[in-house]
Amino acid sequence: MSAPALAEEPPLALRGMGSFHVGGREAVVAGKPVKEVLLVPGGVPARIDPNGTYQVEAMYVQYHLPATPRGAVPLLLWHGGGLTGVTWESTPDGREGWQQYFLRRGWATYVSDAVERGRAGWAMSPEIFQGDPVFLTKQDPWERFRIGAGPGSWRTRTALPGTQFPVEAYDAFMRQVVPRWTTTDAAQLAAYRALLRRVGPAVVLAHSQGGLFAGRAAQAEPGQVRALVLVEPAGFGETTPEALAALKDIPVLALYGDFIDQDQRWPAIRQRGLDFYAALRAAGGQVDVVSLPERGIAGNSHMMMMDRNNQAVAQVVHDWLAARGLWR
C-alpha cells in the first residue's frame, strides 16, 4: 500500500504540536573561581558563581500530530553528527523536508536535537562534557558527505557529476552545522532511551551517527521500537548474541545513496554495516538493504533527505513501512 504522490500540496492539517525536553541528570561543579561579569553593555556587573548543581544532558524534542493520523505509531527522526533536528525540516534551498513529507501522509513526527546539539543546550566543558568539541570547516562536509568530487574538490568547488544535493544552497547548509563532542555517547543514548520510554512504541528513522543510537536504544528498549530505518548509518548496535537477539523482531531498513564506490571512506563504512546486517540476519533478524542507484534513484549524497529527489527517497521509506503494516 503506497501513499499517493501529492502534486499540489494542500495546507498541513494538525491536531496538535509542541515540544519538550527529556532525559538528563544533575551534575555538580566545584572549585571554580567566582567572577564579576558585565552581562549587558553599560549594565551593572553581576556576581557569577559557577560552583553548584547543574541540570545537564537533556534532549530537545519537537512534535507535530496530524489531524488524520495514519501511521500506526509515531515516527522519531534522529539526526547525525555535528547536526541537529533541522536535518529533517526545510531543505537548505527551501523545499519541504522529510518532516513535512511524513506529516502529510499521516505520521506523527518527533524531531529531536540530541544532547549537546541545538536547543538541547550545552554543559560546562571540560568539567561536564569531557574534552574539546569538534568543529567542521566548510570543506569537510563538501568532501566527506559525497557532495564534492573527493579530497581537494572544495578548492575548485567541484561537485560530483549528477549530484542531487542543492549545491547552490551549500552555505545555507553549513549555517546549520554545530559543534559536537566525541565523549557524550552514553549521555545521548540515555536521552534517546528516555524518549522511547516517553512516546514509544515508535518507528525510529536515524541518519549517520544516529544509527549508533538507534541500534543500541532498540536493543535496550526493544518493546518500544516497531521498526528501524537507518539512513547511511555510521554506527551500529552491539553484536553480542544477547544484543542481536533483542533486534530479532524489529524489522530494519538500511538505505545507501550514490557515489559510494568512488569514495575513499564510504566503502568501508558501508561494509561495516553489511557485516552488522549479516550478523543480525544470522540471529534471526529481518534486514532489507536498499542501494538507491540500484532502484533507479541516482545522485544521492550522504544528506539524501536534503537532496533534490528527497521525496523519491522518502517514498522508498514510506512504502517499506506500509508493507510492514505500520501505515493505515
Quick: pLDDT tens for 52-92. Answer: 999 999 999 999 999 999 999 999 999 999 999 999 999 99
What's the confidence (pLDDT) of residue 232? 98
pLDDT for residue 122 is more than 80: yes
What's the confidence (pLDDT) of residue 139? 96
What's the confidence (pLDDT) of residue 172? 98
pLDDT for residue 8 is more than 80: no
Give the mean model confidence (pLDDT) for residues 19-42.
95
Count CA atoms within 13 Å of residue 3 on its CB side: 27
pLDDT for residue 225 is more than 90: yes
Quick: pLDDT tens for 176-187. Answer: 999 999 999 999
What confidence tier does 7 reach under pLDDT thresholds 50, 70, 90?
low
pTM for the predicted model, two decimal places: 0.94
Helix-strand-coil percent breakdown of the chain, rounded to 5? Answer: 30, 20, 45
Give the mean model confidence (pLDDT) for residues 137-148.
97
Ordered DSSP codes for 92-108: TTS---HHHHHHHTT--
pLDDT for residue 101 is more than 70: yes
Give percent of the chain with pLDDT exceeding 70: 98
Q: What topology is assigned to 14-23+58-323 in CATH?
A: Rossmann fold (3.40.50)
CA proximity to 176, closest of 87, 301, 78:
87
What's the confidence (pLDDT) of residue 10? 78
pLDDT for residue 311 is more than 80: yes
The ranges assigned to domains in the chain are 14-23+58-323
- CB of 83 within 8 A of CB of 173? no
**Plot region of 57 (φ>0 → left; ψ -120 to 50 → alpha; else → beta):** left
* One-letter amino acid for residue 325 of the chain: G
Ordered DSSP codes for 6-43: -SSPPPP-EEEEEEEEE--EEEEE-SPPPEEE--STTS
Helices (H), the chain: 98-104, 139-144, 153-156, 170-174, 185-199, 210-220, 241-246, 266-282, 310-323
- CB of 255 within 8 A of CB of 229? yes
What's the confidence (pLDDT) of residue 90? 97
pLDDT for residue 1 is more than 50: no
Give me the chain's average pLDDT, please. 95
- Radius of gyration for the alpha carbons in the chain, expressed in angstroms and rounded: 21
pLDDT for residue 4 is more than 90: no
Cell numbers linked to 81: 553528527
What's the confidence (pLDDT) of residue 238? 97
Q: What is the DSSP letter of 114?
A: -
pLDDT for residue 5 is more than 60: no
pLDDT for residue 49 is more than 50: yes
pLDDT for residue 229 is more than 90: yes
pLDDT for residue 260 is more than 50: yes
What's the confidence (pLDDT) of residue 9? 74
- CB of 245 within 8 A of CB of 218? no
